[in-house]
Amino acid sequence: MSGTSLDGLDIVYCCFDKTNSKWTFKITVSETVSYPDEIKRLLIDSFYSPADIIAENDWLYGKYLGRQVNIFCDKWNIQPDYIASHGHTIFHRPDLSYTLQIGNGQAIADETGITVINDFRSQDINLGGQGAPLVPIGDELLFGQYDYCLNIGGFSNISFNKAGKRIAYDISPANMLINHLCNIINLDYDKDGKIAESNHVDSHLLHELNTLDYYNKPYPKSLGKEWFDSNIIPIIKKYQSVLTVEDLIATATEHVATQISNNITAHKTVLCTGGGAHNKHLINIIRILSDANIIIPDDTITDYKEALIFAFMAALRINNENNVFATSTGAKYDHCAGIITTPAN
């Protein structure tokens, strides 16, 4: 799993079991591989590259993923039955009926000799959906005991069961925004939210962020880098000349917490995962604003739940069971997504 925040490559080795129509899981081994500079640059530059370079990068990144899987398997002496790969999102424009995640499935399969399931989003786009969020299938079948499942990654997203249907959508930019501001002062992120906690929230900037049109749109809806670049960056640039970066970080954090809180009902249980769950100041603000029971699980679930669920989607795909909820993405109907690729002999 590779997210928009470019933290690195999440790899998990997990097992799934289905007994009496109920799925259970176990994560045996997990780790995050930091991207070397050349891979990080490849992923960043692909957004701005011509088609032939993107096609080349698709193969290069696929081979890189395959090599990392081999290293991981050798290190832990494991032999997986399948590889589930989300890839790395370069473009996501459901409004224009396309999405692209690079990390070629054939390249991964040939590098590892293991069958690969990838490209989980395209089919949903073809069925009129957003191609996101996809994790609600796991939220429902693996974590259904919680009222809400909240993930705070590059973007924050949420899912919940409403009248027997799983509803899900992207809430707002999260780590993508905070980390972007931290990068200006040569930091990767705001550890524990200490910068935000120690600085000033600007009411004018906060109001401008909180009144973006997206927040009033009905679900299903999803966000991508294109939206972030065209809607968030111009606002940030406008305030950079009048606010310190530290105050921008404080205000951005308040904005993220506000939008998340606006989508949570008081006194409900909320399973909170993703990198943002480690931002203690952000979580404290959400707790205050929402008056909900925010539950941070152990670090393995917090950091690897998304990778776990894409592995689960692959297990469902192999089992020919639906792994995408139409109520979450807006597709015409529930469906079974993912391309199965076998290694060349």
pLDDT tens-digit map of 197-244: 999 999 999 999 999 999 999 999 999 999 999 999 999 999 999 999
Other beta carbons within 10 Å of 281? 19
Q: Is 27 within 8 Å of 14 (Cβ atoms)?
A: yes
What is the identity of the amino acid at 111? E
- Claim to verify: residue 199 and residue 271 sit in the same structural domain: yes
- Claim to verify: residue 125 and residue 146 sit in the same structural domain: no
- Claim to verify: residue 99 and residue 231 sit in the same structural domain: no
**How many whole angstroms separate alpha carbon 280 and alpha carbon 266?**
20
**How many whole angstroms separate alpha carbon 271 and alpha carbon 228?**
25
Q: Is 170 within 8 Å of 133 (Cβ atoms)?
A: yes
pLDDT band at 7 (very low <50, low <70, confident <90, very high): confident
Residue 4 maps to a domain: no
For the segment 236-295, what is each residue's pLDDT rounded down to a tens digit? 999 999 999 999 999 999 999 999 999 999 999 999 999 999 999 999 999 999 999 999
Which 3 state secondary structure label does DSSP give 193?
A: helix
- Claim to verify: residue 265 and residue 334 sit in the same structural domain: no
- Claim to verify: residue 155 and residue 274 sit in the same structural domain: yes
Q: State the pLDDT at residue 260.
A: 98
- Claim to verify: residue 44 and residue 77 sit in the same structural domain: yes
- Claim to verify: residue 103 and residue 181 sit in the same structural domain: no
Residue 183 maps to a domain: yes
Range of the domain at 124: 9-130+304-341
- Claim to verify: residue 101 and residue 56 sit in the same structural domain: yes
Sheet strands (E) in 174-298: 269-273, 293-295
Encode 52-95 in three state secondary structure: HHHHHHHHHHHHHHHHHHHHHHHHHCCCCCCEEECCEEEEEEHH
Q: State the pLDDT at residue 232.
A: 98
Residue 1 maps to a domain: no
Q: pTM of whole model > 0.85?
A: yes
Residue 332 maps to a domain: yes
- Claim to verify: residue 200 and residue 311 sit in the same structural domain: no
Contacts of residue 238, Cβ cutoff 8 Å, sequence gap at least 6: none
- Claim to verify: residue 163 and residue 69 sit in the same structural domain: no
Contacts 24+ apart (CB under 8 A), 315-321: 315/16, 315/82, 315/84, 316/137, 317/117, 318/82, 318/117, 319/18
**How many whole angstroms separate alpha carbon 125 and alpha carbon 311?**
20
Residue 215 maps to a domain: yes
User: Residue for token digits 């950079």?
Assistant: 240
Rounded to an integer, the average pLDDT of 302-308 is: 97
Q: φ, ψ for residue 203 (rounded to 5)?
A: -65, -35
Q: What is the DSSP letter of 121?
A: S
Residue 2 maps to a domain: no
Q: How many helices and strands, by DSSP H and E, does the chain display?
A: 14, 12
The CATH code of the domain that includes 230 is 3.30.420.40
- Claim to verify: residue 93 and residue 35 sit in the same structural domain: yes
pLDDT at residue 141 is higher than 80 = yes
Residue 3 maps to a domain: no
Domain count, the chain: 2
**How many whole angstroms separate alpha carbon 267 and alpha carbon 263?**
13
Tokens of 109: 């399969």
Residue 151 maps to a domain: yes
**How many whole angstroms separate alpha carbon 56 and alpha carbon 50?**
10
- Claim to verify: residue 119 and residue 172 sit in the same structural domain: no
Rounded to an integer, the average pLDDT of 320-331 is: 97
